[in-house]
Amino acid sequence: MHESAAVFAAVFIALWVGHAVGDHWVQSSCQAASKGLPGWAGRLACGRHVAGLTATKGVALAPVVLLLDLPLSAAGLTLGLGVDAVSHYWADRRTTLQKLARVCGKAEFYSLGTPGHAAHPVTAEGRYAPTLGTGAYALDQSWHVAWLGVAALLIAAV
């Protein structure tokens, strides 16, 4: 295997681990509830979330880089983590990803699992049954993973 391909793979895995931890364990409940709000309250909450998330990805990446002696540049790390952070902020403002889903013909899937979907989950009494398994969440996470791939490629190649 070519060395840069191995570096890409190691970086991608580390970023994915950091993403899973940072997007779910490090993000505060306040950030999760507020990051999509309009105005500065939402922008600041989303910015705090992305800052913590990016730091978590750095913490996940550091031992991989050091223990495997990966040949990375500061420019590649800065560019890759920066592109990832911007793409994450963009999607987590919520209305942006929702609009993209609508443009791509995924509006129905985006609303899957929410009261806005015709087939939303219900309790035995017929009331809405909240779930994390929403179309919005699936599209959000797949967006982030796609950009983790871009970030890993930039980090490995620059």
**What average pLDDT values come out for the chain (158 residues) when binned by 10 residues?**
89 98 96 95 97 98 97 97 98 95 91 74 75 84 97 97
State residue 45's pLDDT score: 97
Contacts of 105 (CB under 8 A, 6+ apart): none
Integer Cα distance of 149 and 101 in angstroms: 20
| 26: containing domain | 3-157
Q: How many domains does the chain have?
A: 1
State residue 9's pLDDT score: 97
State residue 1's pLDDT score: 55
State residue 133's pLDDT score: 77
State residue 132's pLDDT score: 67
